[in-house]
Chains A and B, each alone.
Chain A
């Protein structure tokens, strides 16, 4: 029998503090996080809360360039960007889309949108991971990051009338030169990183790393920079602790959000736009399935016809022949199995992901944790080979198309450009 537990009376003062503390913790993990008082005002849809929340959502939803170029976005542009981003992610409430572009209203709707984003994914953790202080020299071993955040939309230039193809060729050429310059810069960066890593061998207190990174080297050379780095790390620590706080206390926030939702006037009608699903809808699959079935049927027929012709040509020849046939069948079966295994393997090859710190080791040194460069190179090479195949196929299609066009215009002489 346990001690009779005293019923702990919840101190009303504690209960009153729990919500603002939870919100404060949340706010600290977010960029441009508003104060708990602003959250409260937003629940009651007070206009002074709106700008802070527009700013918060803009910082959360748009990939931020590191040098803080977000200042170049006007408030109206920020509002439009937030609306577009929410719609892209499938946010269902129409009321937000109808808020004015000047950013003067909408605290409550924005608060609901924030809650929606928080409920969908571990937002504070993701933001913290994205903006973390990097001590090592890092590179990404996959393209996920680059593909997921394509950057701000490029201004689309409307071509009024015809476009001179020479202008297009000019632009393509510029792009190629920039590509080559980029490669040259990257090679230079690699060479210099290699130098730093080999010159600082033995300087790192962590033996498994062995050498310093650029940031760490700068730390030693420039004390003021070192102090700034320390401050950044301390701020990051505070944010990480706030994230932990938030996770402990968030229940009271969600209970409060229920009351915010209740405070809203009922939605006039159903949302008229459906969330955009990034995969092709069911409608696109039907014709594909039909085509696949038709092709399978064709294949079956062709196989049957060939088998019959072969059997007719070979004929039944006696016991040693049936032994040969069994052996043949086995060999074919083994080939097929090997092919299937190869397909499965390449399909489910575990692709390494995310940013990794670069560590230079001596040949023959004991292997540390993490990826080795040859593995990454191997994965990249197979990916490159795959892309080459796709490129060749597309080029072949283009050539066929060109040949078709050439055929359609007799009397025209095609001169190929000077290439090799």
Chain B
């Protein structure tokens, strides 16, 4: 089953390119550490999911590129075409001559309706190329103008037109010290709209990825390209093919559906975070060996202590002891910053994957009281190594990862809103104060729900 990706804005298009590139490179990587037949099955599965075929054999990414300025799209198209290995469809992009100046309301209320028909037609064409549609990826930033406002509008349209298809938004969480003064307004508007029309929000934090580049990859001058490549690596480690079940060697056909069924069935809990391990520069890779026990131990502690990467993990954080009275738990949680999960998905790729011991992830203390580990925890596996890592593990988690960052953004946005700063930029284009209040209500509710998980 195939996934159609909608790349929105500068952010979405640059990241989208890196994602397809990472997926393609990995599926054609010679060091798969598995049999030839297995490798071919893996390639075929990856190809069906993300690429379609053209006559001269160059795979075409199943993607629609949308931006209000032509510059980034042209760069993206030519980068793909020059590689010679894969490319974007000739008629898969939509752009205009003029941007939206980081104005969310302009993107949502003006660009959206004006270009709705053209954009949805492009998506429809891409959908028709699929034998069967698994769902949509929508890659966008949360705080920009075009990507965010237009992205919220497009997602809503997808909900209306393809109500039975699955939609996952890949959202780029801005730097805490961002440059756009209204980025918090944009963020809350984006999030609240997406919460209503999307099925799952997979959130990538710029700050976290930046740290990974600095500390783990040892990159001195970190460019957006580096950040995007790390992000692409994370996405690839989640969505490349995995076996469809325990003891099966057929590749899973419905990754989006399986993931969503296991992680986001509850309408109030849609925010997902990704962690993966190990993450290092290619040079260091040759000198490192890993054990599943070591990797999983680190990954579990990353989950519990809400660490973004495998360095600097706080090993003091422990799961609360069961049998404690509720209030005791709450104060312990606050003190030790324990991250309670609703549901987790661990994805293992590489050598001896079937020998990996996952009992520690099934500890009930990790999870909220109303969901048992047997329902809350799932695992995907494949023997085929990912991107030259002999063993690698990824974690997609529906947990309290994002409560603090979200709370901060909502707080800052509220402070600005209380003094009505910059509101006219929004009301000018049809986003009224009512809409802001609705967004605040929804997000406060989400924060409260996530905070109550500890009980």
Contact = CB atoms under 8 A, between A and B. Distances in A.
Contact of B195 (A172, A180, A192, A418): A418
Contacts of A418: 192, 195-196, 267-268, 442, 445
B105 interface: no
Contacts of B248: none
A170 B257 contact: no
B196 A420 contact: yes
Contacts of B267: 169, 173, 417-419
Interface string B252-267: 0010010011001111
Given A164-B370, A166-B370, A418-B267, A191 B441 contact: no
Contacts of B196: 418-420
Interface in A47-79: none
A69 to B, nearest CB: 17
| Centre residue among A167, A177, A191 by max chain B CB count within 10 A | A177
B423 interface: no
B344 to A, nearest CB: 14
Contacts of B261: 174, 177-178, 181
Interface string A162-199: 00101101111110111011011101100110000000
B216 interface: no
A417 B192 CA distance: 12
A196 to B, nearest CB: 12
A173 B264 contact: yes
B371 interface: yes
A282 interface: no
B132 A191 contact: yes
A324 interface: no
Interface string B125-157: 000000111100000000000000000000000
Given A177-B260, A188-B1, A169 B266 contact: yes
Contacts of B254: 181, 184
Given A173-B267, A415-B445, A167 B164 contact: no
Contacts of B164: 180, 183-184
Contacts of B197: 420
Contacts of B442: 418
Contact of B131 (A174, A178, A181, A192): A192
Nearest to B268: A417
A26 B441 CA distance: 71
B266 A181 contact: no
Interface in B287-319: none
A172 B131 contact: no
Contacts of A166: 266, 370-371
Nearest to A187: B132
Given A183-B164, A418-B196, A420-B197, A176 B132 contact: no
Nearest to A188: B132
Interface string B191-224: 0100111000000000000000000000000000
Contacts of B371: 166-167, 170
A191 B370 contact: no
Contacts of B441: 415
Nearest to A178: B261
A191 B268 CA distance: 35
Interface string B31-59: 00000000000000000000000000000
A417 B195 CA distance: 11
B369 interface: yes
A184 B257 contact: yes
Contact of B370 (A167, A172, A177, A184): A167
Contact of B266 (A173, A183, A187, A420): A173
Contacts of A172: 265
A188 B131 contact: yes
A289 to B, nearest CB: 44
Nearest to A169: B266
A177 B1 contact: no
B172 interface: no
A177 B265 contact: yes
Nearest to B163: A180
B166 interface: yes
Contact of A173 (B131, B257, B265): B265
B282 to A, nearest CB: 38
Nearest to B369: A164
A180 B257 contact: yes
Nearest to B260: A177
Contacts of B266: 166, 169-170, 173
Nearest to B159: A420
Contacts of A183: 164
B286 to A, nearest CB: 41
B197 to A, nearest CB: 7
| Centre residue among A166, A167, A176 by max chain B CB count within 10 A | A166
B129 to A, nearest CB: 12
Nearest to B370: A164
B265 A184 contact: no
B165 interface: yes
B342 to A, nearest CB: 8
Nearest to A176: B265
Nearest to B133: A184
A178 B166 CA distance: 11
A185 to B, nearest CB: 8
A180 B166 contact: yes
A181 B259 CA distance: 12
A176 B192 CA distance: 22
Contacts of B375: 170
B360 to A, nearest CB: 23
Interface string B106-141: 000000000000000000000000011110000000
Interface string A389-420: 00000000000000000000000000101111
Interface in B150-179: 164-166
A208 to B, nearest CB: 29
Interface string B348-373: 00000000000000000000011100
A177 B370 CA distance: 20
B265 A191 contact: no
A178 B445 CA distance: 27
A164 B196 CA distance: 23
Contacts of A181: 254, 257, 261
A184 B132 contact: yes
A164 B371 CA distance: 9
Contacts of B370: 164, 166-167, 170
Interface in B19-33: none
Contacts of A164: 369-370
A417 B267 CA distance: 8
Interface in A138-179: 164, 166-167, 169-174, 176-178
Contacts of B264: 173
A170 B192 CA distance: 20
A184 B165 contact: yes
Contacts of A415: 441, 445
A113 B214 CA distance: 79
Contacts of A169: 265-268
A170 B165 contact: no
6 closest residue pairs by CB, A with B: A173-B265, A188-B132, A164-B370, A177-B261, A181-B257, A174-B265
Given A164-B369, A170-B265, 8 more contacts: A166-B370, A170-B266, A170-B371, A188-B131, A191-B132, A415-B445, A418-B267, A419-B267
Interface of A: 164, 166-167, 169-174, 176-178, 180-181, 183-185, 187-188, 191-192, 415, 417-420
Interface of B: 1, 131-134, 164-166, 192, 195-197, 254, 257, 260-261, 264-268, 369-371, 375, 441-442, 445
10 contacts: A164-B370, A169-B266, A173-B265, A178-B261, A184-B132, A184-B254, A187-B132, A417-B267, A418-B268, A418-B445
